[in-house]
Amino acid sequence: MKNNEINNLKKRLLDQQKELVKLREQDALTNLPNRAKMQRDLREKRGEKALLIADINKFAMLGAVYGPKIADFMIQKIAMIIKEITPKKARIYRLQGDEFGVCFESAEDAKGVNESEIINFAQDLIAKISKNVIFYGKIEIRAAIAIGIAFAKDEEALLSRALIALQEAKSLGGANIFCVYSQGLETFRRQKTNLYWIPRVKAAIERQAIESWYQPIVCNKTREVSRYECLARLKDERGKIADPYLFLDAARISGILTAITRSMIAKSFKYFGGTGAHFSINITESDLQEDYLPEFLRSEMLANNLNARQITLEIVEDASAKSVYSHINQLLTLKDMGFLLAADDFGAANSNFSRIMAVDIDIIKIDGSFVKNIASNQRSLMIVKNMADFARSIGAKSVAEYVANREIYKKASEIGVDFSQGFYFGKPASKIAAAKRGAA
């Protein structure tokens, strides 16, 4: 083979290699560089950088309503808008799905990127996209975005911080809003808390250190204890007790939430076995997804001499609000087995009246955020009254949570709430005798 032929072959191979690299690092829909290219660029470029990650608000819903063709068209249009207003010195990337990245680098003679310039750009981008109507034939779409902004030198820190800031912006509504990363962000604190608790929850489950504590629920007419709610507590290796708000989110993220429910069922069933007392257990969406409850509950009842009518299953709003056929069927099966069903935290963001009707709920637990102010706020009082009236209209009982003092208890009784639960009647305790030592 002649030298010319060898050189030509080498050139073709190099061209093909470059084309493969380009294909691997380029988004086919927008022709923008992709996430892999962005990460390589961030690693190779020294100095402080700013990264904006923009997310299209409710894009999945738009795709479901209009179909994939219109969703792709929308992505292309938004990519064009971002290109139009992005300075030449910045680089644009399509990261994944509905996310775009814009990276700014500090000039060689500058100490860092200009933060006010980056924030102004984010505001301009939000304004441009919100004002731009996207037409696909006769279909008119108005888009909105959330933006997370971070500043850092290191590639991993920059990307993770921008994503944390984006999550914070989405948690604040996600439409036409931006957030700049700082360690004071709620999302950062939550992630830091979860990283702390995930290994500790796993270890506690292995040590069987998830405890069942009990809080009384009192009949407002008789002021007698009607039942107890079983509440999870974690005992660490030093014997210190942790409340569930600290570790349940970590358990959910790490996929071990159902292990906590199983432990709570086993321990509370053993505690109340043969007593004839009524008690309630919290059931989560994860429990319904794993579809183990009917068999497991039946087994534990037989082992501990319990009747299903003694037990209320408190379904968290996230679970009862899900329009999942298998979930409804499970709840109806549990109802047929004799268990009472309660809608927990009713009035919270995910409350769903149709799901409550579908499973014939027996008890509605009114969210404490409304109850705690009924003695001093007329609006809260009327909201709680309406919830109690609704419960009565469907043949269900109502429970007021967060009843902390006599004034709240008196108001709840006056407006027709059937039961009360809170520190006024007793704090959660590891024994029911201690739990009943309230101020009442």
pLDDT tens by residue, 375-396: 999 999 999 999 999 999 999 9
Whole-number Å distance between alpha carbons of 38 and 91: 9
Q: For 113-120, what is the mean pLDDT? A: 87
Express each pLDDT in 159-187 by its tens digit. Answer: 988 998 998 888 888 889 999 988 777 77
139: pLDDT confidence band, cut at 50, 70 and 90?
Answer: confident
Whole-number Å distance between alpha carbons of 202 and 207: 9
Does the 3-182 domain belong in CATH 3.10.28.10?
no
Higher pLDDT, 68 or 308: 308
- Tokens 């996209």 correspond to what residue? 129
Q: Which CATH number fits domain 207-435: 3.30.160.270, 3.20.20.450, 3.10.20.30, 3.40.50.150?
A: 3.20.20.450
Residue 398 has pLDDT above 60, yes or no: yes
Residue 26 has pLDDT above 90, yes or no: no
Whole-number Å distance between alpha carbons of 414 and 417: 8
Q: Fill in the DSSP letter of residue 26.
A: B
Residues pairing with 311 in the sheet: 279
Helices (H), 182-309: 186-206, 244-253, 257-272, 285-290, 293-304
Collect all residues with Cβ–Cβ distance below 8 Å to 163 and sequence separation of at least 6: 53, 148
Higher pLDDT, 327 or 397: 397
| Domain extents in the chain | 3-182, 207-435
Query: Are 248 and 260 in contact, with CB atoms under 8 Å apart?
Result: yes
Express each pLDDT in 6-23 by its tens digit. Answer: 555 556 656 555 555 555
* 413 phi/psi in degrees, rounded to 5: -65, -40
Residue 206 has pLDDT above 70, yes or no: yes
Q: Write down the pLDDT at residue 16.
A: 54
Q: For 62-88, what is the mean pLDDT? A: 89
What per-residue string of b and e applies to 326-361 under the rule 16 or more CB within 10 Å gives b? ebbebbeebbeeebbbbbbbbbbeebbeebbeebeb
Residue 138 has pLDDT above 60, yes or no: yes
Q: Write down the pLDDT at residue 252.
A: 87
Of the ranges 93-102, 190-199, 284-293, 379-388, which one carries the lowest mean pLDDT score?
190-199
* Residues constituting the chain: 440
* Upper half-sphere CA count for residue 423 (Cβ side, 13 Å): 5
Higher pLDDT, 434 or 410: 410
Which residue from 222, 243, 213, 278 is spatially nearest to 409, judged by alpha carbons?
A: 222
